[in-house]
Amino acid sequence: MNMTKLNQVYRCNVCGNIVEVLNPGEGKLVCCGQEMELLLARKTDVGPEKHVPVIENFDNKIKVRVGKVPHPMESNHYILWIELITPKKSYRISLNPGDKPEAIFPRPKSKKYMVRCYCNIHGLWHDLEEKMKF
């Protein structure tokens, strides 16, 4: 039997639904009559668009920018969300076309955290200096 893991992200390849696991369990996640695809976060950019989150620390906050060169935020290609995950809390900022591909979060008290983002075309990405394994 399959076992999901906390904070895994799944996508339905029929309708586009995206699900994040909040409570792991046995079984398969199914949508539109098909098993959902487990998305594995990438951390190396390829091509002109940049997706790897870049983290800047200031005051008691963390600013996350998507890409060293800002990711496009056009109606057909944009970042849907940026997320900061710690062992006890998750923060997510939803974005729309035309927004800046960035988010500001409170600086985590834990030294273990991960930042990731989701591009509507290229999928799930996380920072190069991943501090937490899932």
Distance of CA 74 to the CA centre of its chain: 18
Cβ neighbour number for residue 44 with a 10 Å cutoff: 8
Q: Which domains does the chain have, with CATH numbers?
A: 3-39 (2.20.28.100), 48-128 (2.60.40.730)
Is 117 known to sit in a ligand binding site? no
pLDDT tens for the chain, residues 1 to 134 = 679 999 999 999 999 999 999 999 998 999 999 999 999 999 888 777 789 999 998 889 999 999 989 999 999 999 999 999 988 899 999 999 999 999 999 998 888 899 999 999 999 999 866 666 54
Q: Is 126 annotated as a binding residue?
A: no
Please tell me the predicted confidence (pLDDT) of residue 52: 92
What pLDDT is stored for residue 61 in this prediction? 94
Both structure tokens of 74: 């056009």
119 is in an annotated binding site: yes
pLDDT of residue 127: 85
